Amino acid sequence: MTQPPLDLGISQRPRLAPKLGLFDATMMVMGGIVGAGVFMNPYVVAQQLHSPVLILSVWLAGGVIAILGSFIYAELGARIPEVGGQYEYLRQSLHPVFGFLYGWALLLVIQTGGMAAVAVTFARYFLELTGLPYSEHWVVVITLAVLTAVNCLGVKPGGRFQSVLMVLKIAAIAALIGAGLFLVRAPKPLLHPVLDRPVSFDLLTALGAAMVPVLFSYGGWQTTNFIASEIRDARKNLGRALVIGVAAVVVLYVAVNIICLRALGVTALARTSIPASSVMQIVAGQRGARLIAFGIAVSTVGFLSQSVLTGPRVYFAMAEDGLFFRSVAYLARKTQVPVVAIVLQSVWTAVIALSGKYEQILNFQAPIDFTFFGLSATCLFVLRRRDRSRPTGNAGFRFPGHPFTTLIFILSCWLIVANALWKYPGNSSIGFVIILIGLPVYALWQRRRLREATE
């Protein structure tokens, strides 16, 4: 497919610099996944399933789907190691309009909506830990401002800061796992009962409902592909970082759920909305609960830091292609980072968080996100077909088991979308309306772009 030429003035600006190594990229992958969900979501699954074997099975199944996704994105990243990630895969493989609609939805809903909710979660834990007499809104604004400033200093400082936060997250999770393994005096059974009800349609629907929070918890690894051009030797290191990072998170998530079940049991786990704090309360009292609350606060701010760093690269790529405001493609000459794009995303995140409507946005965020997951995976079929017409092409990495493994991932994504449309038709429809509004917006930008190219 022939792509329109880039704006000459933009293409002559400084390029994003490859400054991140394999360790930083791996920490970026893990940081994009691990937020507050690992500490809180186990109880949501336990409300749907009442057997420890079933609970652990869905977390393992979700991990397998996430690993399949990481392999798909590893090959996509090796084939198209450019800034923008999913935006570029959709634009170059399917049609530029799909790339634009993804970036449009990312800015208005997917990235900023998730960041707004996490920012408020951090503010609540921060105020609870410190007892400072400030409102949540002030904490949200200051936190976003600090993270924005850090990431405007350059991708390397932002990446190093993210790596430090990820190491602290791992330490908090390790503390929870260690306490659950060695300090629980009366552990609950993990291997029985196997089923909580007869094999039936009811069991299948319960498993499907439980997979929703599980897959949400595993989401986020794809954002590292946004900064592919800033990873050294991205054709090799991006794929390695994705597979290593996602596999490590699967191990951590399954271990955390084993600990929650071992310490609380299924019934108590389903009754608490703060399972990690409940476990630490049992084994270490109030001091343990405060320690894990600190871990959750660090985890949330780490997720925010990763989101501030990665998402703006998509808007930068859109602006470079003439499909967004030209100023968003501005790179600071000293730090070589898209500072306007970073500030834009943070400001819109703050607006959502302060509006008090971010919860509604999150309700229709997921089906949009998983729609584009599935669409991005279909790009692999297009790129593989192009390979057959160009035998000398070399992707550098090939997803094992394709096309069957790819189809499993696509089907899983779109089943989540279908489930959301069935259960929450109102909110899900709002999300897709936002996508449809992007169509005339794309037409306007495309017309302006073509007009400028002919002048």
- pLDDT tens digits, 212-263: 778 878 888 888 787 777 788 877 888 888 889 999 999 999 999 999 998 8
Whether 395 shows a pLDDT value over 80: the answer reads no
CA 188, CA 225: separation in Å to the nearest integer?
41
CA 374, CA 273: separation in Å to the nearest integer?
31
CA 24, CA 44: separation in Å to the nearest integer?
32
Whether 396 shows a pLDDT value over 90: the answer reads no
The pLDDT assigned to 363 comes to: 61
Query: What average pLDDT does range 328-346 have in this prediction?
Result: 86
Return the structure tokens found at 72.
């798909």
The pLDDT assigned to 16 comes to: 61
The pLDDT assigned to 362 comes to: 58
Under 8 Å between Cβ of 154 and 19:
yes
The pLDDT assigned to 15 comes to: 56
The pLDDT assigned to 129 comes to: 79
Position 96 confidence tier, pLDDT thresholds 50, 70, 90: very high
Whether 4 shows a pLDDT value over 50: the answer reads no
Report the residue count for the chain. 455
The pLDDT assigned to 413 comes to: 87
Residue 377, Ramachandran bin (φ over 0: left; ψ between -120 and 50: alpha; else beta): alpha
- pLDDT tens digits, 121-173: 788 778 877 878 888 889 999 999 999 998 888 766 766 777 787 888 888 88
Position 422 confidence tier, pLDDT thresholds 50, 70, 90: confident
Under 8 Å between Cβ of 291 and 284:
yes
CA 433, CA 435: separation in Å to the nearest integer?
5
Ranking 34-43, 86-95, 441-450 by mean pLDDT, the lowest is 34-43
The pLDDT assigned to 9 comes to: 39
**Which amino acid is it at 31?**
G
- The residue whose two tokens read 């707004």 is 116
Whether 6 shows a pLDDT value over 60: the answer reads no
CA 173, CA 221: separation in Å to the nearest integer?
18
CA distances to 357, 412, 420 from 208, in Å: 28, 10, 11
Q: Sketch out the chain's domains with CATH numbers.
A: 8-454 (1.20.1740.10)
Partners of 20 in the beta sheet? Answer: 231
Under 8 Å between Cβ of 221 and 66:
yes
SS3 401: coil
Query: What average pLDDT does range 68-93 have in this prediction?
Result: 87
- The residue whose two tokens read 């260690």 is 178
Under 8 Å between Cβ of 101 and 439:
yes
Cis peptide before 193 (omega within 30 of 0): yes
Per-residue b or e along 357-378, where b marks 16 or more CB atoms closer than 10 Å to that residue's CB: ebeebbbbbbbbbbbbbbbbbb
Contacting residues for 404 by C-beta, under 8 A, at least 6 apart: none
Rg over CA atoms, the chain: 22
Position 441 confidence tier, pLDDT thresholds 50, 70, 90: very high
The pLDDT assigned to 5 comes to: 40
Position 394 confidence tier, pLDDT thresholds 50, 70, 90: low
**Beta strands in 298-416, from DSSP E residues, in sequence order:** none
**Would you give the end-to-end CA distance of the chain in angstroms?**
24
- pLDDT tens digits, 283-316: 888 888 888 888 888 888 888 888 888 889 889 8
